[in-house]
A and B are shown apart, each in its own frame.
Chain A
């Protein structure tokens, strides 16, 4: 008898496990009692200094809008993309307000009819955030999202090293070439790059292409006005290969991991003089090497090339965007999106983590470097959205693969360009 009870209990435990596993999914989606609207907000910012301000901003929005409850959920980067895609087939699980990077990735969701058109709500705040900030998620003249964080590609350099060898910061590529020669002769690598994840190295190719072909060269290629085999891309590839062969970058850069800040370590140890990364790296440098940050770090523009149409002030930038889901709650969701883009308290807190403020006025610079960066953005002659966000996901991967092959010197610039064009034509 005793044995039977034990067996029964065991069976119960096993069965209940299955039942709970199946039942667990449905919880949480239900909206609150009558009169309250619950908005689910998903984002991917996994550091406390960004999570807490977003959470606080949600509370402020609730106070301003009685009857609205905002549930904030954080999911880390790659898992975030996968998770959002997974819930895209079941409307009840899809978040009401969600983070993305705009560009081609969000466009797939827009095409699937999952994202609300928030043009009217966006136009209301256009004077606060500026016209440039409306472009991160606009397709066919309609706006599907507003940035809450913007970042840009920044050239960081070690002021001490340039002073030590009496080098003014180069204004043209020819001057940069001289500086590189001096550094290499003294055993210092001009640019450090950790290219395992491929996008850090691709930035160099993108900047060179924008200098040789003019800042809108990629947009023109996407619009089929020029080909990906255009002279500008070939020249950019050839120049990059020349720099690689001349030793501008660490040997074996393709094996270094930027998530482990292997390239930044070389920068702090003064084994390398410069690095091109996004502005989010400012926070990382400040955290890793506060003394270096204060005394030696400077930011500059990637030099122009004599006789080429691109200017040094043509910048690369990108945004973290919030969009509203296309459902019965999209009007209030759109309001939350606009709120997050313009809330001064949230923007000030995010700015302290290396984000360029979205509102054009009212944010105090967090430190001198951020001040320089905001000025850089203010005087930009052209802002190109990050290429790997602009291209379709498939083309973006190929773009990164081919530039990584350039760094490995296993492809010529023409081969790389032809592969891009072939995939684009498909």
Chain B
């Protein structure tokens, strides 16, 4: 008996060592880059520092001074607002269009394979390429969009990316175009996991296609939907690349996001401390939003698991 327990403890310890060994590299990377980065960001955010030389020598500790200035910075609040617009648009449009496309390609009708490939293509392009060619499409003089508009109203080229009122819509449209396929693939993967028998049973019971969607597909997809929504919220709050490539936050800050604002402050204006305080706010805001979202959707999760 004694030998048996000894062997068992040995195995447990060995198991633990193995688990640790396998987790260690990832943990090390996570701690040295992600965690360390976040902690240092908060540390830097208490300094007035231009990023040149070491912070302990060249920086002036001003406590929460950067945050106080940030709270009064109208540009920052516009960026926050734009980020939330992006969150809402992403969830409402990208997820729902993704769902519609997933339903279409999931029917298995003739030609769906072709459409699956076509719809998926935007996601395969690199963001820089996407941003660059959409800039050309939006070109007020030789772009396709204005070529069509010219037929309707000549002599008034609309400047899609140069006008303060239009620029957000123009870039948001491209983000939807780019990311809808991601949700299409996620949701479609979720749909293939739903047993065909459920639909057969429902059909025998006389349920219509609509009823089947609302009573079977949607409830069973809720886990996938929630994952997609979390991905979408986090992605939107720290979004940077497409906006940077297409507008650099311009004109005049009307398409500014928190991340582009942070980059400009830290690296273009050489205000590393102030930029760090923007980054710190991004962490806090993202954390709060995700916490609220998790709290609001917690009941359904319990049912699932």
Residues on A facing B (Cβ under 8 Å): 7, 11, 14-15, 17-18, 78, 81-82, 85, 88-89, 105, 108-109, 112-114, 195-198, 250-257, 260, 262, 265-266, 271, 392-394, 397, 401, 404-405, 407-408, 410-411
Contact = CB atoms under 8 A, between A and B. Distances in A.
A18 B267 contact: no
Nearest 4 A-B pairs (CB), nearest first?
A: A252-B159, A255-B162, A255-B161, A254-B162
A392 B50 CA distance: 11
Contacts of B268: 393, 397
Interface string B128-165: 00001001101111100000000000001111111110
B142 A265 contact: yes
Contacts of B58: 112
Contacts of A252: 140, 157-163
B111 interface: no
Interface string B60-101: 000000000000000000000000000000000000000000
Contacts of B28: 18
Nearest to B170: A255
B232 interface: no
B30 to A, nearest CB: 11
Contact of A408 (B132, B141, B251): B251
Given A15-B24, A257-B135, A266-B141, A85 B161 contact: no
A113 B57 CA distance: 11
A197 B135 CA distance: 14
Interface SS of chain B: loop
A25 to B, nearest CB: 12
Contacts of B21: 11
B108 interface: no
A114, A253, A256: most-surrounded residue (chain B CB, <10 A):
A256
A14 B22 contact: yes
Interface of B: 18, 21-22, 24-25, 28-29, 50-55, 58, 132, 135-136, 138-142, 156-164, 167, 247-248, 250-253, 264, 267-271
A367 B108 CA distance: 65
Contacts of B271: 393-394
Given A251-B140, A393-B270, 14 more contacts: A18-B29, A85-B52, A195-B162, A196-B161, A196-B251, A252-B160, A252-B161, A255-B247, A256-B162, A260-B136, A262-B139, A392-B270, A404-B251, A410-B164
Given A254-B250, A255-B163, A393 B269 contact: yes
B252 A89 contact: no
Contacts of B162: 195-196, 251-256, 408
Contact of B270 (A18, A256, A394): A394
Given A78-B267, A404-B252, A256 B53 contact: no
Nearest to B268: A397
10 contacts: A7-B18, A14-B22, A85-B51, A112-B52, A198-B250, A255-B138, A255-B140, A255-B162, A397-B264, A404-B252
Contacts of A404: 250-252
Nearest to A21: B29
Given A108-B52, A108-B270, A408 B140 contact: no
Given A11-B21, A397-B264, A405-B252, A255 B159 contact: yes
A81 to B, nearest CB: 7
Contacts of B139: 256, 262
A229 B18 CA distance: 69
Contacts of A114: 52-53
A251 B158 CA distance: 8
B22 A260 contact: no
Nearest to B24: A15
A265 B136 CA distance: 12
A136 B157 CA distance: 42
A250 B140 contact: yes
A83 B86 CA distance: 31
A262 B158 CA distance: 16
B50 A108 contact: yes
Nearest to B167: A255
Contacts of A257: 135
B251 A255 contact: yes
B166 to A, nearest CB: 9
A260 B253 CA distance: 21
A17 B28 CA distance: 12
Nearest to A194: B162
Contacts of B267: 78, 81-82, 85
A14, A252, A397: most-surrounded residue (chain B CB, <10 A):
A252
A177 to B, nearest CB: 22
Contacts of B142: 265
B251 A88 contact: no
Contacts of B156: 251
A262 B160 CA distance: 14
Contacts of A408: 162-164, 251-252
A251 B269 contact: no
A88 B29 CA distance: 24
B269 A397 contact: yes
A208 to B, nearest CB: 20
B74 to A, nearest CB: 11
Contacts of B159: 251-255
A17 B25 contact: yes
A106 to B, nearest CB: 10
Contacts of B50: 108, 393
